[in-house]
Amino acid sequence: MRVELRNIHKHFGPVHANAGITLTFEEGKIHGLLGENGAGKSTLMKILSGFYRPDDGEIYLDGQRVSFHHPADALRQGVGMLHQDPLDFPVMTVLENFMAGSPGGMVPDKRKARKSLKTLGEQFGFHLDPDATVASLTVGERQQLEILRLLWLGARVLIFDEPTTGISAQQKERLFQALRQLASEGRTIIFVTHKLYEVQELCDTAAVLRLGKLMGRRTAPYDLDDLVKLMFGRVLKMERKPAVPLGEPIFRVEDLAVESARVRIRNVYLEVRAGEVIGLAGMEGSGQRYLLRACAGLLRPTSGRVWFRGREMTGRSYLDFYQAGATYLPATRLEEGLLPGLRVADHLVLTRGSRGFFVNERHARDLAQEAIRTFNIRGRPDSMVEALSGGNQQRLLLSLLRPNLSLLFLEHPTRGLDMESTLWVWEQLLERCRQGTAIFFMSSDLDELLNYSDRILVFFAGQVSAPIPAEELDTESLGRLIGGYGFVPVEEAQTMSVGEAAHAR
């Protein structure tokens, strides 16, 4: 299916999210749509998939003008979109989610659907248990389920909005194989991203948006510096974390063990000093998140001990850690970090407090304006948080942090952010390090782990390495450790010399 967007305009109040964009997407190819956070990429694709109606402009499919009133209209015409945060029903089973939106009346044919799910899954190498709940799946598995559902519903144009966010390298490889296969079968693939190396690896063409406008279009092979200039107006480089004098030890875990239905982590020993950054590396689902949550009081460890600022905190709640000077920032911004349905100003009042018993609207707006100015949030005090882009949601979360934190736990702190936003976020975090805050973070981005960590813990098959100085690693050696090659569990490393451990790596 050939897709044409002609002179598309979309406003959200004074924000001109799409300003006269004209693009064509040919069948049988993978088309990259690049841009920084807030550039208008997702808005444009939501217009194409029926979530938004354009203020002006036209959509053509195979030369025929179409108009969509909602996503079901677009899907009936063959256009389906996989969103950055999968739109599924976590409490329902894989099979029930697969059938969502399908025709079949009050009593759909589950046997037929089960067979189709199995057949499609085998075609793409996706192995999903039809009777498992979606809540038990990883982000990558939830994406696989949505791809199969869209194909079953007849999608010929497939839009992927930041699909590699929060998935493992192995799942990304499987996803890319599936996209190449879909394109070879004649489907039109639109791949929305801000990651240049993914476009270089995968896409036949790349269109670049900036501030709602089309800045240019390129075909493979690409000049990456050229794409960066189109995206940001200048070339950006990620630098290594500058040396920060470390303070006294403030956090310690000893022989810590954490269990879940999917993984068991044991024998974790770690001491963290003020101003230090500890990175957690491993394949998705290897236990990094469980360890972070156990260290912050959000998950009770099965054994071991935890100390924070000289006090034993084993088994204490997150509120106890919070009151002692620790804060946790989750990866799921709208599920755990922010409150959908509330404004930017409401969030500032909730975290900073109000003057008096009733909320003072002028004070709330002043707090919000200050945060918007200081943290460069592209929004207004009365903007709903769900209407902000991922990068602006992350900036808002950072604006809500208290000053003088001793310890900051972060899940994927730059998840879904473009390079410029990533650099900005780490500028803010490293400034806190200079003020004595220790940072404990997990990430699937190896460059981020290597550039900003002082030491790295590697997770593999339910085991954790001893802390490894980041300066001793590069992307290749860290990637091998994550895959289990040369991995040394902490209990073995304790019996080895420094030279032996380095040789094993």
**Domains in the chain: ranges and CATH:** 3-232 (3.40.50.300), 249-325+402-504 (3.40.50.300), 340-389+396-401 (no CATH)
What is the value of pTM for the model shown?
Answer: 0.66
At residue 236, the pLDDT reads 65
At residue 355, the pLDDT reads 65
Strands (E), 291-417: 303-308, 311-312, 326-329, 407-411
At residue 500, the pLDDT reads 47
User: How many other CB atoms are there within 10 angstroms of residue 423's CB atom?
Assistant: 15
Answer whether 301's CB lies under 8 Å from 312's CB: no
At residue 136, the pLDDT reads 86
CA triple 382-388-390, angle to 5 deg: 150
At residue 496, the pLDDT reads 45
Burial 32-70 (b: 16+ CB within 10 A, else e): bbbbbbbbbbbbbbbbbbbbbebeebebebeeeebebee
pLDDT, block means (10 residues), the chain with 505 residues = 96 88 96 87 94 95 94 93 84 92 74 92 89 86 90 93 76 88 95 87 94 93 88 72 85 90 83 95 84 92 93 94 94 87 92 73 90 87 87 88 92 81 87 93 89 92 87 87 76 49 50
Reading the block at residue 405, the tokens are 């934190």
The H or E element spanning position 502 is helix 498-504
Instruction: Give the span between the Cα atoms of 437 and 403, in whole angstroms.
Output: 10
